[in-house]
Amino acid sequence: MKAIVDCRNDNNQRNLMELSIWGKPCFAHVINAVEGVKDFTSIEVYTDSDKIYDYVKVNHPNCSLFKSDINRQDDDIFMISGRACCISSKTIEESIKSFTGVTLLSCIRKRLVLTQDLYNCKTVVDSCAINAFYIFKAEENNDLLNRNYAFYTIPDEEGVVVNDVNDFELALVLKKKQENRPVVEKMIDSIIEEKKPVFSCGVEGKSICFIGHSQIDQWKISDIGGFKVRNCGVSGISSFEYKEKIIDKNLLNCDGDIILAMHGTNDVVWDYTYDEIADSILSNINYIHSNNKNAPIVFLSCLHVNGRLDRSNERIDKMNEVVKDALGNKVIWVDTSFMNDKYGDLIREYTVDGLHLSEVGYSVLQEKIEKVIDGLKL
């Protein structure tokens, strides 16, 4: 399969793909993603712009450059728009694996709110094709309307194609988020390295092992309910990463009279299904239980947020519902809705940024957990 990056401008949107997004032209982000895929026999860039041509010639010497009509004579072709700047190499690779010979069109899940009146509305999820990429066999008719095709759903945050100014401004925000992710991953790895002695060593006397993300990691407490705290939380980590980076590498000693676990807030921001999140968290809980059958596992439901764009309380509620059902009687489930105001938001005094807890928030949470611990009669 060869890759074709379509950097041809149309008359109405002449310079959009040449706009700079965090130091690189829009189309350069697309080429970088394509170059990160090992499956392509060649990468061809088609453009009618001298500026794009010269940039690619200097910065992407392994790409073949053309100023002609696109060559569609190869068996399998992955064609991507030079405006699809948020697409990742991983998504490209996964889409190629899904290609069976039937033309595959990129799409996103489109959430539509259907309203009959102010008191009767519902949300439905539908697929909406976008002009990011498509995969096809060259011998087929070039007219998409006269061929069979299927959809490939890409993550929402990768689904912005710069077709107008509004798309460009949204791409700036989403691309910055993507660029920041490697920084977060380095932070996660650094915390794990620093905490290896904590992960591996038990605590003398009655102890409780904390497991989870930043809301656990940033809880500076040494004792709760008469139990010494061993804090194995990692800021920024999801349950998927906790399994991959800690549990699968056998770094976690599950010793402790009680396990306090909290996962979900860094899972819900990604494009995982609720079932995928629940399965990931359940896998972590099963590992803990298999390595410490005597310790009760107290699981805190995902906290609501207050005024956050990256997380919604509606999605958190649905995730909590599915996770609670999946964990069943393996854990002692603690509903954290007592930390919400009458509107369902995390109480402002309990948080420093709408997500992470303040000293007051931790104090309220501590009081709740100590009541749960007292009820265990250990």
Q: Report d(CA 324, CA 303) in Å as an integer.
A: 14
Enter the DSSP assignment of 118: T
- The model's pTM: 0.65
Q: What is the pLDDT along the chain (378 residues), one digit of tens a residue?
A: 999 999 987 655 557 888 888 888 999 999 999 999 998 999 999 998 899 999 999 999 999 999 888 877 777 999 999 999 999 999 999 999 999 989 999 988 655 455 555 445 554 545 566 789 999 987 655 555 566 788 898 988 898 899 888 888 888 887 877 777 778 888 999 999 999 999 998 888 999 999 999 999 999 999 999 999 999 999 999 999 999 999 999 999 999 999 999 999 999 988 789 999 999 999 999 999 999 999 999 999 999 999 987 789 999 999 999 999 999 999 999 999 999 999 999 999 999 999 999 999 999 999 999 999 999 987
* Residue extents of the structural domains in the chain: 2-178, 201-376
DSSP assignments along 131-188, one per residue: EEEEEEETTS-S-GGGS-EEEEE--GGG----SSHHHHHHHHHHHHHHHHHHHHHHHH
pLDDT value at position 23? 84
CATH superfamily of 2-178: Spore Coat Polysaccharide Biosynthesis Protein SpsA; Chain A (3.90.550.10)
* Cβ within 8 Å of residue 202, ≥6 positions away: 230, 253, 255, 256
Asked whether the beta carbons of 298 and 256 are under 8 A apart, the reply is no
pLDDT value at position 14? 57
Report the 3 state secondary structure along 4-73.
EEEECCCCCCCCHHHCEECCEEHHHHHHHHHHCCCCCCCEEEEECCHHHHHHHHHHCCCCEEECCCCCCC
* Cβ within 8 Å of residue 322, ≥6 positions away: 274, 275, 277, 278
- Tokens of residue 135, six digits: 């995969």
**Which CATH architecture is the domain 201-376 placed in?**
3-Layer(aba) Sandwich (3.40)
Beta bridge partner(s), residue 135: 78, 104
Q: Report d(CA 316, CA 109) in Å as an integer.
A: 19
pLDDT value at position 118? 46
- Tokens of residue 308, six digits: 């956050």
Residues in the chain: 378
Query: Measured between alpha carbons, how far is residue 154 from residues 159, 267, 274 in Å?
Result: 7, 17, 17
pLDDT value at position 129? 65
Q: Report d(CA 327, CA 262) in Å as an integer.
A: 12
